[in-house]
Structure 1
Amino acid sequence: MNKQPLYRKYLTLKYIGWGLFGLVIFLSALLIGYFIGFNQVEDELIRERVQTQHLVKQIEQIAAIDEHSATPSKSKEAAYDSEIKRLQKELQALLEQEHRREPLKPQHEYAPKEPKASPPPAAVRPKRLDGTQPKLVIIIDDVSYARDVRAIQSTGLPLVMSFLPPSPRHSESAQLAQRQNRYMVHLPLEAIDFNDEEPFTLHVGDSEETIGKRIIALKQLFPNVRYVNNHTGSKFTGDRDSMEKLIRLLKKEGIQFVDSRTIGKTKVPEVSTLLGIRYIGRDVFLDHQDGVRNVKRQIKEAVEKAKRHGTAIAIGHPRPDTIQALIESKELLSEVQLVGIEQI
């Protein structure tokens, strides 16, 4: 049997040693790389964990703030809902009460318990100049319903309709007015003694702001309004301060006040002079007494005043007696020119 030389055994062991050393180096590198990579991954995981915890804390803080702020909001919302429901109930009760009232009946407020009482006198006026054609304005107050408009139009006369502002009892009055070529607004003012007050009524002591807002609302309801006359108003028109506020604000909006003269001691002439506005006031009430004969007598007086002074203003209501008397007085009315309020 042949024996290997000694140097060959030495070389073989040397190669094996180097091989094992290389393997150790390789495995060490793998282990070092593993631990280095693990540490990097671990550091990354730690950073992500910290960021996540930070975000969680932020979310918890936001949630806490939302919960804290939501509680009062919910309570306020509940309070608002409760208040709205309460007001709706009150409004519904008022509307039901208003609807139960009888339809509006034209009436005079200066003597509610004395139907045959004479109205307050007209203002003193100069005589008509010779050669001028007498003009008569006939205003029909308290126009509130379509039947009122039809009755007035049935006369075939150029009468001036004065519409009450809308209320639950006559909700379409503004719409009816806007269908007319010309109209006035019958502005409710406080009376001394009147038990059927309109919701739109202005009162003595109302602030300038309140009156101003009411006039703005009036213009929104009646965009083409240029003239208003008072519905009732014996107390209001008799109060100088109240009338000064009202007429000044009307003037600012380009609206002329026409005095229905529901009280003899009206302050409208005085305030009109103070504010540099021409005074326009009622001369004759046509139907302060019922009956066609009585109304025809008042129509005759209105015609005579127009002839005497050059112009006159008569005020009536859409009552059957008044409408019939106007129809029967057409021949008499032909002696004057029936015009609108803007033509005198």
Structure 2
Amino acid sequence: MKIIKWLLLAVCLSSSSVGAKQIAIVIDDIGYHQRDLEFLTLPGQLSYSILPHTPYSQIFATLASRANKELLLHVPMQALNGKALGPGGLTVNMDKEQLQQTLGTALASLPQVKGVNNHMGSALTQQSKAMKWTMEVLKKRKLFFLDSRTTDLSQAQNAANFVGVNNIGRHVFLDNITTHNQLQQRLDELKYKATKHHFAIAIAHPYPETIDFLRKALPELVKQGYELVPVSQLVERKYIQLAQAQGKAINAR
């Protein structure tokens, strides 16, 4: 049955993605403010990454699930700048038991999530051992990992590949600067990458400027021929394409 399911999914994805330019947008840093709930009113299949143990994490997860929106856990990880992590944070001085217990508790608080991505993490994601411990937890729970790529030296995807966790990486930060011109430039970069590679992933944040921009920009993306999809769909697409490539290589021998 599992093989049949994957074959059907492969057919659906391959047929729907011929010439398709698929974009996933993940809204990070959800949970601290009531205004975060407004992002659920945005059109299209966006994904939302929730910070654990925050004031609005539970109500957001409940409302998002009712609206059939995809959720990730936004795990705070130690940064090089020493910025405070907040609850549920993972640090470089944790041993395996501390790290896995902290992560497990955060995941247990939000059972709706399909995957995990890192909040900050420019220090921790460089640590191969810590990333391997992280991926062991995700493997047991059958969750994927989205590398926010807060450092070019991240070992997160290498560790995920080693442990056997499906993973993918971010292409564009949409709103590091929230002026309209900068938001439009980052969106144009996202569209370029999606056109060139047939898919692209952006991370954005629950800023007032971002929601105003996206409310107008998302319908335009669809009109321009881009398909908004949950980030998990791009993860599935990646591994189906890898399997197809491996099959071709074997047949070519």
What TM-score does the superposition give when structure 2 sets the normalisation length?
0.78
Misfit runs of 4+, over 4 Å: none
1:222-301 mapped onto 2 (5 Å cutoff): 222-301=110-189
Q: Secondary structure at the match of 2:168?
A: coil
State the AA in 2 paired with 1:143. I
- What is the CA–CA distance in structure 1 between the aligned matches of 2:60 and 2:217, rounded to whole Å? 26
The alignment partner of 1:280 has SS state of strand
Query: Among residues 189, 205, 227, which one is paired with 1:337 in the alignment?
Result: 227
**Deviation string for 1:213-263 (max 9, x for gaps)?**
123312321012221110010000011111111112211121211100000
Contact 2:28-2:74 at 8 Å conserved across structures: yes
User: Are the aligned partners of 2:171 and 2:200 in contact in 1 as well (CA < 8 Å)?
Assistant: yes
Q: Given the alignment of the two structures, is residue 318 of structure 1 paired with residue 202 of structure 2, yes or no?
A: no
- Closer/same/farther in 2, CA of residues 301 and 278 from structure 1, 3 Å limit: same
Output the CA distance in 1 between the equivalents of 2:137 and 2:43. 35
What letter corresponds to residue 134 of structure 1 in structure 2? Answer: K
**TM-score with structure 1 setting the length:** 0.58
1:176 maps to 2:53 = no
- Quick check: 1:143–1:162 contact (8 Å CA) kept in 2? yes
Distance in 2 (CA, whole Å) between partners of 1:277 and 1:183 is 17
Please tell me the root mean square deviation across aligned C-alpha atoms, in Å.
Answer: 1.8
Distance, in Å, in 2 between the alignment partners of 1:217 and 1:309 is 37
Query: Is the partner of 2:86 in helix, strand or coil?
Result: coil
1:1-344 superposed matches below 5 A: 131-144=18-31, 145-150=33-38, 152-166=39-53, 170-181=54-65, 182-334=70-222, 335-344=225-234
Residues 1:209 and 1:280: Cα distance change in structure 2 (over 3 Å): same
Q: Is the 8 A contact 1:136 1:337 kept in 2?
A: yes
Partners in 2 of 1:131 and 1:226 — Cα distance? 26
Write the letter of the residue equivalent to 2:22.
K
Deviates more, 1:325-334 or 1:303-312: 325-334
The structure-2 alpha-carbon separation of the partners of 1:292 and 1:194, relative to structure 1 and needing over 3 Å to count, comes to farther
Question: Unaligned regions of 5+ residues in structure 2, if any?
Answer: 1-16, 235-253
User: Does structure 2 retain, via aligned residues, the 8 Å contact 1:300–1:332?
Assistant: no
Could you tell me which amino acid in structure 2 is paired with residue 272 of structure 1?
A
Distance change (3 Å), C-alpha of 1:209 and 1:196: closer
Which structure has the larger Rg over C-alpha atoms? 1
Sort the Cα spacing of 1:141 and 1:273 in 2 relative to 1 into closer, same or farther, 3 A: same
Shift, 1:146, TM fit: 2.8
Alpha-carbon distance in structure 1 between the residues aligned to 2:108 and 2:59: 11
SS at match of 2:169: coil
Distance in 1 between residues matched to 2:47 and 2:112, nearest whole Å: 14
CA distance in 1, matches of 2:131, 2:163: 11
Return the offset for 1:331.
4.7
Amino acid at match of 1:268: A
Q: Judging by fraction of residues, say which structure has more strand.
A: 2
- In percent, how many aligned pairs have the same letter? 30
Q: Deviations over 1:165-191 (max 9, x none)?
A: 12xxx4231232132132111110111
The answer to whether the 8 Å contact 2:143/2:166 transfers is no
What is the one-letter code of the residue matched to 1:230?
N
Task: State how far apart, in whole Å, the 2-side matches of 1:256 and 1:280 are.
Answer: 8
Query: In the aligned structure 2, how far is the partner of 1:201 from the partner of 1:269?
Result: 19
Change (3 A) 1:247 1:327: same
Asked which structure has the greater RCO (Cα within 8 Å, sep 6+), the reply is: 2
